Amino acid sequence: MAISILLIGAGGTMGTPLVQEFIRQKPSFSRIAILASDASKKAKFAEAEAAGIEVVVGSYLDVSSYKGFDTVISLVGNTLLKLQPAMIDQAIAAGVTQFYPSEYGSDLAQKQFFAHRYFRSKLETRAHLARRARENPNFKYTLFMNGFFTEYAAYFVDAEKKAVTAYGSPDAPTALTSVKDITRMVVQSLLLPYTMGQKREIHVSGSWQTFKELMDTLARVQGVSYSYEFRDPAEMLEKQIEAWQQDDEDKEYQWALMTLAATGCAQVGEKLDNELFGFVPETVEETFVRLFAK
């Protein structure tokens, strides 16, 4: 039986290309819809709607928003991650039997993440999914881990000064996958046999590089030379505390993100599942050539 899909948070960095991938593979699914939190945001998805994707207006926390779907894919951004346990509860109450939480990053089984602000809500969501799966034998969920988004490498660059400022070490190992490939894998994963019990983990990576190698690759593709400054990640903790005291959650996440790529946090585990998918992911250099080459 074909799967019916509800996408939440579909207007963001990953949501937009994922919608395009669903449009390309639309015949494989019985129903694909985007949940818009209010009517004013519906127009944002006019192009997708014209391509046959439904747009449902409703609250993330209202059971009626989830009715009629068997699979929910959450793509919510940082400040909405804390709502995912409540979203899961409403989805299960509506009859949803499969949930993809908004992970799409590092393997959170690493012990260092239990004290990392960036992953707090994601870890709480994982624990909630495990509890609800124990209570509901027909409910299953997929944790999708892909390391650092390759496209985000430019986040650390001051293009005007041709300088890279990072918090951590130049030798920090980093797993990287392009957003383009991640979206293809997510859609394809929905069509794979579900053989891993109620919890399925998918680990993928397009490339592994040290942080310095990553930045050197970007510079080479762009035809520039960068200066480097590596600083103590503890500085970012102070900035996070300051943002928390000011009740600025966006800033708190921003500072936490700065410590990911150069501290060895962007890892996906030793065994990769790339072979599950019918293509070879882009390398870092291939992604940079596609996006940044002059």
The 10s digit of each residue's pLDDT in 47-71 is 999 999 999 999 999 999 999 999 9
Evaluate whether residue 190 is within a structural domain.
yes
User: How many domains is the chain built from?
Assistant: 1
Evaluate whether residue 247 is within a structural domain.
no
Evaluate whether residue 87 is within a structural domain.
yes
Q: Which domain holds residue 88?
A: 3-146+177-206+268-279
In the chain, DSSP finds a helix count (H) and a strand count (E) of: 9, 13
- Maximum CA pair distance of the chain? 56
- Cβ proximity of 153 and 166 under 8 Å: no
pTM for the whole structure: 0.91
User: What's the pLDDT score for residue 111?
Assistant: 67
With tokens 């392009």, the residue in question is: 178
User: What's the pLDDT score for residue 40?
Assistant: 81
Highest-confidence segment of 58-67, 145-154, 187-196: 58-67
Q: Could you tell me the CATH number of the domain that includes residue 20?
A: 3.40.50.720
Q: How far is CA 166 from the centre of its chain?
A: 21
User: What's the pLDDT score for residue 135?
Assistant: 97
Evaluate whether residue 67 is within a structural domain.
yes
Evaluate whether residue 233 is within a structural domain.
no
Task: Give the span between the Cα atoms of 275 and 278, in whole angstroms.
Answer: 7
Confidence tier at 113 by pLDDT (50, 70, 90): low
User: What's the pLDDT score for residue 32?
Assistant: 98
Once rounded to an integer, what is the mean pLDDT over residues 2-11?
94
Evaluate whether residue 170 is within a structural domain.
no
Evaluate whether residue 288 is within a structural domain.
no
Evaluate whether residue 27 is within a structural domain.
yes
Between residues 239 and 141, the one the model is more confident about:
141
How many CB atoms lie under 10 A from the CB of residue 86? 12
